[in-house]
Amino acid sequence: MDNKSCFHCGDPCDEATVLYQDKTFCCNGCKTVYEIFDSNDLKYYYDLQSAAGSTPKLSPGKYDYLENSEIAEQLLEFNDGKHQIISLFIPTIHCSSCIWVLENLGKLAPGIVQSQVDFPKKTLRISFRDKTISLKEIVELLAKIGYEPNISLADSEVKKNKDGKKIIYQLGVAGFGFGNIMFLSFPEYFEVGEYWLEQYKMLFRWLMFAFSLPVVFYAGRDYLLSAYKGIKSNFLNIDVPIALGILVLFIRSTLEIIFDWGSGFFDSLSGLIFFLLLGKYFQQRTYSFLSFERDYKSYFPVAITRIFNNGREESVRVNDLKKGDRLLIRHGELIPVDGILETGPAEIDYSFVTGEARPVHVDAGEKVFAGGKQLGGPIEMTAQKKVSQSYLTQLWSHNVFGESSDSKFKSLTDSIGKRFTIAVLSIAIVSALYWVFTEPGKVWNVFTAVLIIACPCAIALAAPFTLGNMLRIFGKKKFYLKDVSVIEKLAKIDTAIFDKTGTLTTRKHDEIFYEGSKLTKEEKSLMKSTLRASNHPLSRSLYSLLKEHNILSLDQYEEYIGLGLFGSKGDNTIKIGSSTFVDNCNQTSPSKAEVHISTNSNYRGRFVLQSQYRNGITDLMSDLRKQIDLAVLSGDHDGERNRLQTLLPGLTPMYFDQNPKDKLYFVKELQDSGKRVMMVGDGLNDAGALAQSDVGIALAEDINVFSPACDGILDATAFTNLSSYINASKKAMGIIRLSFVLSLAYNLIGLYFAVTGQLQPVIAAILMPLSSISIVAFTTIATNWLGRRIK
């Protein structure tokens, strides 16, 4: 690391550096973290990897609400009065050094008994003793060392216990039974005639029966229950013929060993259930570390500061807020309820709610809405509604958020279940009737053999392995889907709707144009030094434009919230902000984000900031237009209409000033007209439309930090590959159909042996696993080849 970079965070240092032990730090915060690690023998952190975590910035009083025992209790996973356990989401975890330092927290704070990182989920599970260290102290310690946790209202909700281990246990039982039954069946296959094998043949058969019991009634019980529920609901799903095959295999095999007719089909039975569970497990391997069900609770704070009439301040739970409460909103905090601004002015960022990229200036006495973020200094407001009644939260009361996606979509596999069941039963009955008049002794054998050999295990495996592997491939390509059914729905869409701000445009970069008199080097240095102290997004954009210029130590600095900045050095002064603030009488464009400049009371010009559109959107939209209809829905103004028209295919519909409900109803109207809609958005203002659409895709700059309720999360860097993902989904459905044809061929071969009464256990033991293995191999090879063709 060079001497111009911070030893802790790696950021470049300017003149305002801090020196400590011959090391350079960009600020006192980074130096403090180094001192903490140094004094606790944790300097090995810097040997693992530099620049882990983030530069610590902790606002005073930010976590005072954690001193409230009721709030803390809601966040804890476990509390017996002596030991407490909490899981915290820490978005800045990204490398081995992060894991190392977080799992050594006990060295920094003696009250911490154990700390364990779940890297994929970016969570830290801490066991501690609150008699020694409080929850607030733990959170503040994490913030100080650059790992500030993200604590939201959703964390205080009762968490559902998800038992994802059941399928593992079932698969283990089925595999254990399958292996042992196959081992015991070998003498029967090869008709070995040794004395001791003949002597104990019945014992081996009853052992196979014993091994089959847990396989059928534990490992295979879900298929039996699903079939029962399907029949009870007058719906013949794919599990009905599977359950029929399992039961017939078990009953016939049991009868064969009871009456000494043969060894039965216990090997085929256990193999069938094992391969079915293998496909089910593969299907369920989704990206659980991503959240696809986020709503406003994931972004709202757990608690807020309430001000009493006597001036006393208290942290209260957001859910306990009532109409008339006076609230303190600090810089960067989210407004949790609708209300009236009491002290102003305020600069509110409503981009999550409306999609409008520019902050809104609000004066005292005006209304503010839940979901806005205060960009200026602390403000006070009076709540007019409860959290559940606010404008933003009303969006989630729409019935679309209570619907199950399964109710909207009937999978390809289940759609053939009814026909397959009827066909198998018809063949079995017709075959049995034939042998009744030809050779009655074969009726039972033929009838049960048809039901056994026609069990659609290969068909049931085709979709899980194809779609499961595509799910994995999409994940490697930075496209993360909620489950495999999304791929099926994605293959059927015929209309795609895109949000503009944050979707077609990127939040990371702005295009900045200067119009006016040329600024001198000294003026640019003074401008950079003035912008440096402001957190306003337009200020940060301009500040990044002036990287090459020096930093001055200002004699005077003032920030006028909602208006602009004033700075002075010696005899030189500068004003940066709105047109009226810098005394400019020239007409401005209300459809553009502008920052005006005046130096020494002389107007110099303006910086015009335009949204930066993502690279490659023209090619992407042209590719999509060839196969589906397109439209743009934006909560922003229409100042970008002409520019968008040059980037999108001709006659692409564009709708501006759309609020969240407008977007939702727009999608619903298209669906009512028979369209299958994909919505691509990025903010809470898109959540209603994302939930209503057949496929909702959330575009994210950071997949672990922000994603509204959706069916899939698309990494912003892979946005231009969206057309390839849709094409791959359609081809994946073609692979499934080819697998069905291959499976049908195996069934026809097996049916020949079954209908003619020639089905023997050895034939079933070879044919049934062979069909399953070949389907798995075919789908895996085909999807891997398909994955390599994705850009």
Question: What pLDDT band is residue 1 in, cutting at 50, 70 and 90?
Answer: very low
DSSP-assigned letters across all residues of 377-428? S-EEEEE-S-GGGSHHHHHTTSGGGGS-HHHH---HHHHTHHHHHHHHHHHH
For residues 320 and 599, is the Cβ–Cβ distance under 8 A? no
* pLDDT exceeds cutoff 80 at 729: yes
CA distances from 486 to 138, 410, 679, 681 (A): 40, 11, 13, 17
Question: What pLDDT band is residue 96 in, cutting at 50, 70 and 90?
Answer: low
Q: Would you state the pLDDT for residue 210?
A: 93
Q: Which residue has the tokens 């830290």?
A: 124
Contacts of 80 (CB under 8 A, 6+ apart): none
Q: How far apart are CA 655 and CA 647, in angstroms?
A: 15
Q: How far apart are CA 4 and CA 15, in angstroms?
A: 10
For residues 157 and 182, is the Cβ–Cβ distance under 8 A? no
Query: CA 236, 240, 241 angle in degrees (round to 5)?
Result: 115
Cis check: omega of the bond before 345, within 30 degrees of 0: yes
The percentage of residues in the chain with a pLDDT greater than 70, rounded to a whole number, is 74
Among the listed residues 516, 490, 527, 396, the one whose alpha carbon sits nearest the alpha carbon of residue 711: 490
- Give the model confidence (pLDDT) of 381-418 as tens digits: 998 877 755 555 554 444 444 454 443 434 556 666 66
Give phi and psi for 522, each to the nearest 5: -65, -40
Q: How far apart are CA 745 and CA 759, in angstroms?
A: 17
Identify residue 439 by its one-letter amino acid code: E
> Once rounded to an integer, what is the mean pLDDT over residues 13-25?
63
Q: Which residue has the tokens 């009236």?
A: 340
| Neighbour count for residue 27 (Cβ, 10 Å) | 18
> Which residues is 595 bridged to in the sheet?
607
Query: CA 94, 95, 100 angle in degrees (round to 5)?
Result: 120
Q: How far apart are CA 209 and CA 262, in angstroms?
A: 13
Q: Would you state the pLDDT for residue 21?
A: 65
Q: Would you state the pLDDT for residue 401?
A: 47
Question: What pLDDT band is residue 26 in, cutting at 50, 70 and 90?
Answer: low
Which domains does the chain show, CATH number per domain? 1-151 (3.30.70.100), 166-287+414-465+731-788 (no CATH), 296-395 (2.70.150.10), 478-505+614-730 (3.40.50.1000), 507-612 (3.40.1110.10)
3-state SS of 452-471 is HHCCCHHHHHHHHHHHHHHH
- Give the model confidence (pLDDT) of 577-624 as tens digits: 888 888 765 655 555 668 899 999 889 999 887 778 888 899 999 999
Q: How far apart are CA 148 and CA 132, in angstroms?
A: 21
Identify residue 160 by its one-letter amino acid code: K
Contacts of 542 (CB under 8 A, 6+ apart): 512, 527, 531, 576, 595, 607
> Once rounded to an integer, what is the mean pLDDT over residues 636-661?
83
- Tell me if the pTM is above 0.85: no
- Give the model confidence (pLDDT) of 113-153 as tens digits: 888 887 667 788 888 888 888 888 898 888 877 788 877 65
Give phi and psi for 69, each to the nearest 5: -65, -35
Query: CA 278, 283, 288 angle in degrees (round to 5)?
Result: 120
Question: What pLDDT band is residue 214 in, cutting at 50, 70 and 90?
Answer: very high
- Give the model confidence (pLDDT) of 691-725 as tens digits: 888 998 888 765 544 455 678 878 888 898 999 99
H/E run at residue 610:
strand 602-613
Question: What pLDDT band is residue 475 in, cutting at 50, 70 and 90?
Answer: confident
Contacts of 672 (CB under 8 A, 6+ apart): none
Q: Residue 338 burial (CB < 10 Å; 0-12/13-18/19+)?
A: buried
